C-alpha cells in the first residue's frame, strides 16, 4: 500500500472515529464567559456559582466578564462575531435570545448566528399585590378588572421584558384590559408595592421573596406550570382559572455559530454536570431559580418554541415594545 493511500485511510479514520487534534485538545487556554447582565443580579450570581465547577470539569480558568446593555444584545452580538473556537461564550437571557427576534435593529439571528450550549436556570414570575389591595386571588383580580376597567393596573419590569409579556398574556387569556405600567426593573416595582404606590405587579422571585415571607406584599399567583418548590403555597395561574398559562424568565449559554460540535458537546457536558451538583442546585434555588440543564439540540428546540410563543403575543400588541 502506497504512502498516499495510507494517508487517506488515516484521514478517513480520523473523520469517522475521532475529532481533529485542535478540537480534541480543547480547552488548552482560559475560557471567557461574557455575562450580558450587570454584576449582582441573579444571572451574574449563577454564572459565578457554576464558575468553580466549570474550571474543575474543563481544567482551565473560566473568566466571567460582565457586558450589559441593550437588553443583552450587545454581549450576544459580540459573541456572534467572535471566533468559533469555544474560548468566548456568553450567558444570554430570554430577551436577547427570544423576545427581541423580529426587531429590525437586532444585529444577529439567535437561531443562525449562535450555537446553543444549554440553558442554565429559569425563574417564574409572581403576580404580587400590595397589602391595600382588596383582592386575594387571581379570580378576584380578573373580576375586578372586568367590573372596573382601567382602574386596575399592573406594574412590570419594563416594556419588552418577559414580565411585560406575561402581563400581556394574562390580559389575553383572561379577556381583560388591565392597564400595564412599565418600570425600570423588578426592584422598583417591589418597592412601590411595599409603599402602596401600585396595587399589583409582575415580579420575579429574588427581590420579592423576603417581602412575601414577611407578609409585606401578597403573592396572588405564580407563572410556573406547577407550584414552585421554593414557594409551594403560591397557586399557579393555571390552577387559578387560566389553564395552560406558563411563563418563566430564563438564561442560557451560547457560543458563536460554527463552533465545532465536539467543542459544544464538551462545554455542554461540563455545564450539565455542574448544574446537577447538589451543592450548586441548592445555591441556585436559594436565588429563587431552578437549574435547567438540556442538550444542545433540546436547547435549540426550546428557543424555537419560545420564539413562536412570545411572537404571537408581541404581534398581537397594538404597539410593538422597544
One digit per residue, the tens of pLDDT, for the chain of length 322 reads 554 454 444 444 444 444 444 456 999 999 999 998 888 778 889 999 999 999 999 999 999 999 988 778 889 999 999 999 999 999 998 888 988 775 656 789 999 999 999 999 999 999 999 999 989 999 999 999 998 655 789 999 888 788 999 999 999 999 999 999 998 888 899 999 999 999 999 998 878 888 999 999 999 999 999 998 888 999 999 999 999 999 999 999 999 999 999 999 999 999 999 999 999 999 998 888 999 999 999 999 999 999 999 988 888 887 666 5
Q: What is the pLDDT of residue 206?
A: 79
* Boundary-marking domain end, from 213, 240, 267: 240
Distances (CA, A) of 139 to 67, 239, 246: 41, 11, 17
Residue 38: inside a domain:
yes
Domain that holds residue 138: 126-240
* Boundary-marking domain end, from 214, 240, 266: 240
User: What CATH number does residue 276 fall under?
Assistant: 3.40.190.150
Q: What is the pLDDT of residue 207?
A: 81
Give the number of domains in the chain: 2
Q: What is the pLDDT of residue 211?
A: 93
Residue 212 and residue 131 in one domain: yes
CB 114: neighbour CB atoms within 10 A? 25
Nearest to 258 by CA among 10, 23, 65: 23
Beta-bridge partner residues of 254: 90, 116
* Boundary-marking domain end, from 206, 240, 274: 240
Residue 53 and residue 193 in one domain: no
Which grid coordinates belong to 116?
446553543
Residue 185: inside a domain:
yes
Residue 18: inside a domain:
no
Residue 266: inside a domain:
yes
Residue 114 and residue 42 in one domain: yes
Residue 202 and residue 297 in one domain: no
Residues in CB range of 200: below 8 A, 6 or more apart: 127, 128, 129, 130, 133, 141, 152, 153, 154, 155, 178, 193, 220
Q: What is the pLDDT of residue 320?
A: 62
Residue 117 and residue 198 in one domain: no
Report angle CA 12, 18, 21 to the nearest 5 degrees. 100
Q: What is the pLDDT of residue 13?
A: 46
Q: What is the pLDDT of residue 105?
A: 67
Residue 16: inside a domain:
no
Contact 89, 32 (CB under 8 A): yes
Which grid coordinates belong to 154?
399592573
Residue 196 and residue 105 in one domain: no
Q: What is the pLDDT of residue 296?
A: 98
pTM of the model: 0.83
Residue 155 and residue 295 in one domain: no
Residue 144 and residue 114 in one domain: no
User: What CATH number does residue 170 fall under?
Assistant: 3.40.190.10
Residue 48 and residue 190 in one domain: no
Residue 1: inside a domain:
no
Residue 231 and residue 137 in one domain: yes
Q: What is the pLDDT of residue 104?
A: 54
Residue 7: inside a domain:
no
Residue 42: inside a domain:
yes
Residue 112 and residue 139 in one domain: no
Residue 257 and residue 236 in one domain: no
Amino acid at each position: 500500500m502506497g504512502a498516499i493511500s495510507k494517508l487517506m485511510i488515516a484521514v478517513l479514520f480520523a473523520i469517522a472515529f475521532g475529532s481533529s487534534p485542535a478540537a480534541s485538545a480543547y480547552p488548552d487556554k482560559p475560557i471567557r464567559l461574557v455575562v450580558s447582565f450587570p454584576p449582582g443580579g441573579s444571572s451574574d450570581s449563577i454564572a459565578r456559582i457554576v464558575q468553580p465547577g466549570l474550571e474543575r470539569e474543563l481544567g482551565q480558568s473560566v473568566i466571567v466578564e460582565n457586558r450589559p446593555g441593550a437588553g443583552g444584545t450587545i454581549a450576544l452580538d459580540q459573541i456572534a462575531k467572535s471566533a468559533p473556537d469555544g474560548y468566548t461564550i456568553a450567558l444570554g437571557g430570554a430577551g436577547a435570545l427570544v423576545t427581541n427576534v423580529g426587531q429590525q435593529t437586532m444585529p444577529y439571528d439567535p437561531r443562525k448566528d449562535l450555537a446553543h450550549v444549554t440553558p442554565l436556570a429559569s425563574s417564574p414570575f409572581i403576580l404580587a399585590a400590595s397589602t391595600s389591595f382588596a383582592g386575594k386571588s387571581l379570580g378576584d383580580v380578573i373580576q375586578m378588572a372586568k367590573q372596573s376597567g382601567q382602574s386596575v393596573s399592573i406594574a412590570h419590569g419594563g416594556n419588552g421584558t418577559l414580565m411585560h409579556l406575561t402581563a400581556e398574556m394574562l390580559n389575553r387569556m383572561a379577556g381583560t384590559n388591565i392597564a400595564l405600567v412599565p418600570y425600570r426593573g423588578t426592584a422598583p416595582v417591589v418597592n412601590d408595592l411595599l409603599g402602596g404606590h401600585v396595587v399589583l405587579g409582575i415580579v420575579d422571585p429574588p427581590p420579592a421573596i423576603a417581602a412575601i415571607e414577611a407578609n409585606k406584599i401578597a403573592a396572588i399567583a405564580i407563572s410556573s406550570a406547577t407550584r414552585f418548590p421554593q414557594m409551594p403555597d403560591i397557586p399557579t395561574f393555571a390552577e387559578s382559572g387560566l389553564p395552560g398559562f406558563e411563563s418563566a424568565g430564563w438564561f442560557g449559554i451560547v457560543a458563536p455559530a460554527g463552533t465545532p460540535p465536539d467543542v459544544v458537546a464538551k462545554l455542554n457536558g461540563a455545564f450539565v454536570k455542574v448544574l446537577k451538583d447538589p451543592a450548586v442546585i441548592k445555591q441556585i434555588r436559594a436565588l429563587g431559580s431552578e437549574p435547567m440543564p438540556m442538550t444542545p439540540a433540546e436547547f435549540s428546540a426550546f428557543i424555537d418554541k419560545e420564539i413562536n410563543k412570545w411572537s404571537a403575543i408581541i404581534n398581537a400588541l397594538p404597539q410593538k415594545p422597544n
